[in-house]
């Protein structure tokens, strides 16, 4: 049984069977949910259907979109932010059959530029950690509006810190949902607002895999909490889009940037050394530096190939998500964007460069930078994506970026096993070169 299958069997399938996705606000990483669609289409269908029940009942759904590759967006360029958000929206529309109103930011990592990209792409709200607010007296029982350039704005819900920590890290508190509702949940509400009869909400944010995978039986705890225990404690269920439909946003807030929910040092956990992980995190800085330099080279070569063939290379790259989702072929997308006839060789080269762009986005998946050491599957996977990108660029343009990347990756070394990232890269590059014809358009 592989890891995805195990988490699926312990968490996603039982939670879908219990109809928990009808009762909570949720989002899925596109890579995970596309795996689910292929391996258990019935559960995928149930999850989509549980959002649609709310659409029919309330006119707004409870599913949220997510930035596509789980990239830490404050660390990404403005153009990469746009790609991640555009791809996340397209994936959501493809599955849920509607525009997303809300988007979850990977690791709740935020800066103003990220919120502005969300606003420009029509997203209305997101959820952040309470310490992302620049406010001494934050009241998380209602959402706030963050003002952005150009008269744009973004609504932000802040999760309740103590209850989110309790549900995530204190299994003793979540054995009995009725007791949790009585002794914990009610304490999250403000007594002064309750006395005045003012509406207020408590938002608890947690990793979805907690419910049945990280913590045994908590899928059933959640089912009881949202279907009985909360009601008996006098509470009514809501979710961000429904709350916004019924309550105007009255308060403004500024955000502290960059901030995130699983690092208390901004976003340093994914870019170097901080106290969140023991030992020296310098390898992360070297890995990110290597990937950023490679990205610049790939972008330069991509633009070089693409701008001779299409008017807007980056719009083509953003629309390439429709090829990834198999809604159209690369040939038809490129043909449509070119507006004039191209040779099959031109189309093939551009297609290879679009696949290189796709691999390049995958290099920045946050889990590659999250843990304390380099010698783990997650960072090594990111290096494998880099090797694949280098191979695709070589095939498309004849330019070999391998030596440069290797030189940069020499500085990335495991503290425990002394594994060098350049050796991992070379191994994957040789493997990629061993494939006589590169498959393009394969699934994750
Ligand atoms: Zn940290």
pLDDT, residue 438, reads 54
Distance of CA 71 to the CA centre of its chain: 6
The pLDDT score that the predictor gives to residue 440 is 53
pLDDT of residue 439: 54
244 CA → ligand 1 middle, Å = 32
Q: Could you give phi then psi for residue 147, rounded to 5 degrees?
A: -80, 140
Average pLDDT per consecutive 10 residues, the chain (444 residues; last block may be shorter)? 84 94 95 94 97 98 98 98 98 98 98 98 98 96 96 97 92 90 91 95 92 87 88 90 97 98 96 89 96 98 97 97 97 94 96 98 97 96 98 98 98 96 97 68 42
144 CA to centre of ligand 1 in angstroms: 26
Ligand 1 midpoint to CA 67 (Å): 21
pLDDT at 351: 98
Residue 443: the pLDDT is: 39
Q: How far is the CA of 109 from the centre of ligand 1 (A)?
A: 12
Cα of 156 to ligand 1 centre, how many Å? 23
Return all residues near 423 (Cβ < 8 A) that are at least 6 apart.
none
Residue 349's pLDDT is what? Answer: 97
Residue 233: predicted pLDDT: 83
* Structure confidence by residue, pLDDT tens digits, 84-143: 999 999 999 999 999 999 999 999 999 999 999 999 999 999 999 999 999 999 999 999
Distance 365 CA to ligand 1 centre (A): 17
Angle at 120 between CA 117 and CA 125, to 5 degrees: 75
Residue pair 246/207 in contact by the 8 Å Cβ criterion: no
Distance 238 CA to ligand 1 centre (A): 32
Q: Separation of 121 CA from ligand 1 center, angstroms?
A: 30
Ligand 1 center to residue 110 CA distance, Å? 14
Distance 269 CA to ligand 1 centre (A): 5
For residue 395, how far is its CA from the centre of ligand 1 (angstroms)? 40
Instruction: Give the pLDDT score at 1.
Output: 57
368's CB contacts (< 8 A; 6+ apart) are: 287, 378, 379, 381, 382
Partner residues linked to 7 by β-bridges: none
Q: How many angstroms does the Cα of residue 276 sit away from the middle of ligand 1?
A: 4
Complete DSSP assignment for 266-283: TTGGGTS--TTSSS--HH
Task: Give the tens place of pLDDT for each residue, 43-82.
Answer: 999 999 999 999 999 999 999 999 999 999 999 999 999 9
CA distance 401 to 20: 48
Q: Please tell me the pTM assigned to this model.
A: 0.95
Quote the ligand 1 centre to 126 CA distance (angstroms). 22
Reported as half-sphere exposure (CB side, CA atoms, 13 A), residue 249 has a value of 20
Ligand 1: centre distance to CA 27 (Å): 24
Task: Tell how far the Cα of 205 is from the centroid of ligand 1, in angstroms.
Answer: 19
With b for 16 or more beta-carbon neighbours within 10 A and e for fewer, the 319-351 pattern comes to bbbbbbbeeeebeebbbebbeeebeeeebbbbb
Q: Is residue 325 reached through a cis peptide bond, with omega within 30 degrees of 0 on the bond before it?
A: no
């Amino acid at each position: 049984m592989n890891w995805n299958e195990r988490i699926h069997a312990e968490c996603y399938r039982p939670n879908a069977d219990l109809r928990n996705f009808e009762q909570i606000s949720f989002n899925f990483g596109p890579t995970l949910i596309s795996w689910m669609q292929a391996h258990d289409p019935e559960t995928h269908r149930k999850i989509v259907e549980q959002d649609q029940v709310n659409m029919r009942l309330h006119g707004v759904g409870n599913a949220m979109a997510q930035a596509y590759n789980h990239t830490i967006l404050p660390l990404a360029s403005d153009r990469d932010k746009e790609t991640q958000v555009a791809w996340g929206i397209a994936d959501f529309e493809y599955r849920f059959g509607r525009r997303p109103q809300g988007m979850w930011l990977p690791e709740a990592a935020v800066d103003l530029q990220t919120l502005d990209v969300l606003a420009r792409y029509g997203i209305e709200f997101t959820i952040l950690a309470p310490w992302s607010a620049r406010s001494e007296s934050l009241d998380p029982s209602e959402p706030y509006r963050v003002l952005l350039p150009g008269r744009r704005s973004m609504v932000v819900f802040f999760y309740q810190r103590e209850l989110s920590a309790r549900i995530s890290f204190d299994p003793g508190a979540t054995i009995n949902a009725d007791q949790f509702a009585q002794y914990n949940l009610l304490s999250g509400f403000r007594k002064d607002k309750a006395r005045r009869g003012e509406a207020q909400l408590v938002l608890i944010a947690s990793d979805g895999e907690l419910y049945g995978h990280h913590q045994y039986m908590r899928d059933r705890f959640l089912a009881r909490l949202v279907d009985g225990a909360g009601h008996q404690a006098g509470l009514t269920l809501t979710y961000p889009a429904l709350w916004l439909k019924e309550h105007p946003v009255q308060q403004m807030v500024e955000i502290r940037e960059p901030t995130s929910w699983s690092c208390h040092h901004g976003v340093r956990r994914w870019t170097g050394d901080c106290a969140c992980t023991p030992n020296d995190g310098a390898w992360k800085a070297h890995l990110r530096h290597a990937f950023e330099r490679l990205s610049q080279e790939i972008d330069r070569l991509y633009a070089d190939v693409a701008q001779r063939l299409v008017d807007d290379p980056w719009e083509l790259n953003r629309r390439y998500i429709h090829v990834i989702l198999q809604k159209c072929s690369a040939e038809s997308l490129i043909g449509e964007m070119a507006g004039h006839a191209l040779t099959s060789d031109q189309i093939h080269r551009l297609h290879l460069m679009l696949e290189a762009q796709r691999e390049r986005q995958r290099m920045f998946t946050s889990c590659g930078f999250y843990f304390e050491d380099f010698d783990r599957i997650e960072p090594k996977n990111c290096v494998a994506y880099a090797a694949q990108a280098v191979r695709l660029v070589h095939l498309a343009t004849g330019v070999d970026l391998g030596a440069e990347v290797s030189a940069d990756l020499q500085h990335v070394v495991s503290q425990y096993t002394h594994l060098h990232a350049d050796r991992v890269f070379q191994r994957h590059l040789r493997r990629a070169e061993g494939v006589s014809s590169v498959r393009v358009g394969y699934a994750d």
